[in-house]
Each structure stands twice: as structure tokens, then as C-alpha cells.
Amino acid sequence: NGMLVAFGATANHCAFYLMSSSTVEAHKDELKDYDTSKGTIRFQADKPLPVALVRKLVKARIAENMDRLSKSK
């Protein structure tokens, strides 16, 4: 049903790719302590994203993908 999320890492930071600027925008209050841009959340390896936040964001992306899929039929 389309791309969902991805993780990445560089020498300077880790990244959680939501592949959706609208999901980042919808959760901007919860993401205020992180460096964000469009569909990306950057964080340090020694300060990982909370599991509950990751779970919430993944569920939001699933809902977004399912909504898009239902509209395309």
C-alpha cells in the first residue's frame, strides 16, 4: 500500500523517515524537541525516539496510506 517509514543513520545523527510532511505537521507539538524537516525526524543515537512516539507515528502513516488507497479506488 505504498511506502510507510524508514530509518537511516549517518556519522552525525539518526533519522526516522515518515515520508509524509502532513504526518510531521500533524504531530509537530510532540516533535518540538527534535530536528524535523518535511517527512524526516533527526535524533542522536544516544537519545533515541520513544517507542510510544514511533508506534503512534507508524499508526498515523498506516491510516494515511489506507485513506489514500481507499480514495484511489
Say if 31 falls within a structural domain.
yes
Confidence of residue 1 (pLDDT cuts 50, 70, 90): confident
The CA distance from 52 to 57, in Å, is 9
The CA distance from 48 to 25, in Å, is 20
pTM, two decimal places: 0.89
Asked if 8 and 42 touch (Cβ cutoff 8 Å), the reply is: no
DSSP 23-62: HHHHTTTTTTTSEEETTEEEE-TTSPPPHHHHHHHHHHHH
Q: Which pLDDT score, from 0 to 100, does residue 35 have?
A: 96
In the DSSP assignment, the letter for residue 20 is -
Say if 1 falls within a structural domain.
no
Q: pLDDT, tens digit, for every residue of 6-64?
A: 999 999 999 999 999 999 999 999 999 999 999 999 999 999 999 999 999 999 999 99
Identify the CATH number of the domain in which residue 25 sits. 3.90.1150.200
